[in-house]
Structure 1
Amino acid sequence: MSAPQGGWAENDPTRRYPSAAEPRQRPSVDAAKLWAGGFGTAVVAALVALVGILLVRGVFGIHILSPSDAGAYGDATTTTYAGGAFGVAILATAVVHMLLLLMPRPMSFFVWIMLLVIAVGVLIPFTVVADLDSQIATAGLNLVIGLCILSLLNSVAGIATREPRQPGAAAY
């Protein structure tokens, strides 16, 4: 029997298939590094939300998340919004941890999930009754917070993941 073009035949005795006794090793995840980075990401996301609200309300004079007489900081909704950004980053850390443990090409899935979540965050302000400038400012702020979480967790996941050592490889 001749081999198909490309030189590989299904019954080629030199072809090596992994056996059940030799499972493919997955990269290991340093959970402490991942969650420390996730907590740091959450703090940064909350601060981005706070700075964004102060910029939009205080500098640009666009009243988002609270009435116009609430000042540059706004009211309790500002704190809730920053807390929400913190919570989303913690939830995203849990998602990336699960993906790293269970999925093939976990960061590809994570990027897609985050991009779709960011798209929802950008579109939601346009579904409520508000001034157009408030809707645009909120959508922009949601975009910046989402991209912040995506980029930081993408970096953290890379640092918290270690490739398995190959048999016979020297340890340094």
Structure 2
Amino acid sequence: MSAPQGGWDQPQGNDPTRRYGAVPQPQSGQRPSVDAGKLWAGGFGTAVVAALVALVGILLVRGVLDIAILSPSEAGMYGDASTTAYAFVSFAIAILATGVLHVLLLLMPRPMSFFNWIMLLAIAVAVLIPFTVNALLESQIATAAIDLVIGICIMSLLNSVAGIATRSNQPPGAGA
């Protein structure tokens, strides 16, 4: 074992395993494992919530705010088949995000950093897309707002699910 070199390797506080500025990293072979059952159960729950957020958003915008999105105003408060499709697409995106998260947890260093960046950029795309189609500005803003809420919902719930679904391979009491 080599001697400490500078502040980076110096112990911090009374914990000799913690170093200044260093983030504890698992040793080779000690990568946290992923409980796929918990991850995918949480991903399915997230998908259901995302679909419901889409429906609530559409009902709020069409029914309460009286802004026609996804279909003409003559289609009523719910809209038409495109409203149902929007909810199913929200569900599918959450399932896809769960798959991406699973791969990142298994293969990447700092998987949550990558996942959050991917999600933030995907949310930015979802928010910008309504402004690229020919529609009333209020419809574009309403659709972008719903997309933003759905994206934040998926990202925040899957962050929580990932924390529950990953566990350290250390034996109990090894870190104490």
Q: How does the TM-score come out when normalised to structure 1?
A: 0.85
Deviation at 1:24, TM superposition (A): 3.6
Aligned residues: percent identity?
Answer: 77
1:131 aligned onto 2:139 = no
Deviation at 1:6, TM superposition (A): 1.8
Residue 42 (structure 2) aligned to one of 37, 42, 59: 37
Once superposed, what is the RMSD of the aligned Cα atoms? Answer: 2.1
- Distance in 1 between the 2:60 and 2:97 partners? 26
Distance 1:30 1:56, change over 3 A: same
1:145 aligned onto 2:150 = yes
| Local SS of the residue matching 2:45 | helix
Q: How does the TM-score come out when normalised to structure 2?
A: 0.83
Deviation at 1:169, TM superposition (A): 3.0
- Distance in 1 between the 2:37 and 2:150 partners? 24
Is there any run of 5+ residues in structure 1 with no aligned partner, and where?
Answer: 9-21
1:101 aligned onto 2:106 = yes
- Distance in 2 between the 1:142 and 1:7 partners? 46
Bigger radius of gyration, 1 or 2? 1
- Distance in 1 between the 2:43 and 2:172 partners? 32
Counterpart amino acid of 2:124?
Answer: A
- Distance in 2 between the 1:113 and 1:33 partners? 22
Residues 86-143 of structure 1: CA deviation (Å, up to 9, x unaligned): 0000000000000000000100100000000000000000000000000000000000
Q: How many residues align?
A: 155
Instruction: List structure 1 runs of 4+ shifted beyond 6 angstroms.
Output: none
